[in-house]
Structure 1
Amino acid sequence: MKKTPRPAITLNQVTHTYFTKKEEVTAISDITFAVPQGELLVLVGPSGCGKSTILSLLAGIYKQTAGQILLFGEEISQRSKCTSYMLQKDGLLEWRTVAQNMRLGLELQKQATPERIEYAFHLLEQMGLGQFAHLYPSQLSGGMRQRVALVRTLAVNPDILLLDEPFSALDIQNKIVLEDLLVEVMKEQKKTAVLVTHDLEEALAVGDRIIVMGGRPGTIRQTTAVPEEIRLLPPLKSRSHPVFRQLFEELWREVERN
């Protein structure tokens, strides 16, 4: 009998509370879900419902107040080395070239071997930026900067990608290009990812499964599996699938209910 792989991510009744100067705030309460290896899970919901808190907990930046978080069956004891975090702001260092920015994560993790740097340059070529390696961030468009940030995120070869609205500041054309690249790399390298977004079209176009969160503290309101006929299509083509608009409207109603 074939053994089922353990989930990449497991949250079991997770609650996180933090303290301000004035009050105690519970950001999320009793969150339970699992993410199989190779899945792209999307978290959607109104601002303040704890989506980004979950990413920070998975990265080991915060420690949950209650419950259990496992990555590949192991509890997080410190800043997780099997995850890589990408934010809305590209965070590129203006005094470093594209190639130097791309290597930054490798240098910080003491992984800047010739083999890993070669792999990073392969990713840069895959993103269509090979010829721009010598340029500085100020010489790039917003879409190109985010591609460099995505390469930097992937260069450390993380098992789990944590993506906090990485494409939200881009125009629709660049957004869809980067969605395509992300899905392509995810499938090619069999990565696991958790994406936070406010864009419900993006959620449906790239996700395998969508969790709708709501409330304060944040809780899970609904979990939706994206149909296979949508998942098999590239993000651009998926948006024109006959089922897509119906799913979008259903998701919209659920988010608005919050």
Structure 2
Amino acid sequence: MSLLELKDINLNYHSKSGEIKTLTNIDLKLNQGEFITVLGPSGCGKSTLLNIISGLIPPSSGDITFKNESLELNKDKMGYMFQKDHLFPWLSVWNNVILPLKIKHELKKEKLEKAEELLKAYALWEFKDRLPTDLSGGMRQRVALIRTLTLDPELLLLDEPFSALDYLTRLKVCDEVYEIIKKEGKTAIMVTHDISEAISLSQRVIILSRRPAYVKKELTINFSEAADTPFKRRKEENFRKYFDEIWGDLDEQ
């Protein structure tokens, strides 16, 4: 059974000049524990697709199911991580992390213990009383991910989560975020413009066409068992093969 399934998803906008087609006939299945990435030309609707999956935007037509149930019944099973960390600068790291629990009135002992456990596991506990301005960009992204995990979502939606970081920090944080997602046993869909990032993190890469976007290709990514981090995967011999294939598909557009 698929965790998430999209069937014939279409999205049309209406403007003064007429109807604008954004997504057309999108079919997608995501299995439990899988990490997939969506690539495509700028403006093709990658982030819009995430917003549809999260329930923030209803599709014009088509069907989305989560564990064979209606998406409407399962919106709380998803966690969304955006391009910017969106940490509140006047709140401590701890209060930023537990904010979703406060909003949902779920400040229970086991949930707070889980938040504490995550901060300790990923080397942030000693910074729990610091403000976000005291942290590096990479640390802020780790805090943002841990905040997303406090509600224990089954599916993570990642919208270019590393784009605000410099290149070296980006490489390091890619490894850190991958490790957290893997250890916590989460399923994830990530949108990015970065081909190398997509290949190094994913089990499958979904390539969208120009608008109106459809699924142009699905590419399964395989590396050796020794390449167990995104950084190590970048050194694998077949990394370049995947890169050239994806670049070719995007360059055609």
Query: Same fold per TM (> 0.5)?
Result: yes
Does the 8 Å CA contact 2:227/2:236 hold for their aligned counterparts?
no
TM-score, structure 2 normalization: 0.94
Do structure 1's residue 100 and structure 2's residue 87 form an aligned pair?
A: no
2:53 alignment partner in structure 1: 58
Write the distance in 2 (CA, Å) between the matches of 1:141 and 1:81. 30
The size of the alignment, in residue pairs, is: 253
Give CA deviations for 1:232-252 in whole Å, capped at 9, x if unaligned. Answer: 521111111111112111111
Cα–Cα, structure 1 residues 79 and 36, in superposed 2: closer, same or farther, change >3 Å? closer
2:142 alignment partner in structure 1: 147
Write the distance in 1 (CA, Å) between the matches of 2:89 and 2:74. 26
1:88 alignment partner in structure 2: 83
What amino acid maps onto 1:132 in structure 2?
F
Cα–Cα, structure 1 residues 168 and 230, in superposed 2: closer, same or farther, change >3 Å? farther
Deviation at 1:230, TM superposition (A): 7.2
Runs of at least 4 residues off by over 3 Å? 20-23
Does the 8 Å CA contact 1:93/1:137 hold for their aligned counterparts?
yes
Deviation at 1:121, TM superposition (A): 1.8
Does the 8 Å CA contact 2:66/2:74 hold for their aligned counterparts?
no
Does the 8 Å CA contact 2:223/2:233 hold for their aligned counterparts?
no
Match of 2:198 among 198, 203, 209: 203
Do structure 1's residue 138 and structure 2's residue 124 form an aligned pair?
A: no
Structure 2: tracts of 5 or more residues without a match? none
Write the distance in 2 (CA, Å) between the matches of 1:85 and 1:91. 12
Give CA deviations for 1:140-194 in whole Å, capped at 9, x if unaligned. Answer: 2211111111111111110000000001111233222222222222222221110
1:243 alignment partner in structure 2: 238
Write the distance in 2 (CA, Å) between the matches of 1:15 and 1:231. 40
The share of aligned pairs that are identical, in percent, is 36
How big is the alpha-carbon RMSD for the aligned residues of Structure 1 and Structure 2? 1.7
- SS of corresponding position for 2:36: strand
Write the distance in 2 (CA, Å) between the matches of 1:144 and 1:55. 24
- SS of corresponding position for 1:34: strand
Match of 1:47 among 31, 42, 46: 42
TM-score, structure 1 normalization: 0.93
Write the distance in 1 (CA, Å) between the matches of 2:168 and 2:162. 11
Write the distance in 1 (CA, Å) between the matches of 2:68 and 2:123. 36
Match of 2:207 among 200, 205, 212: 212
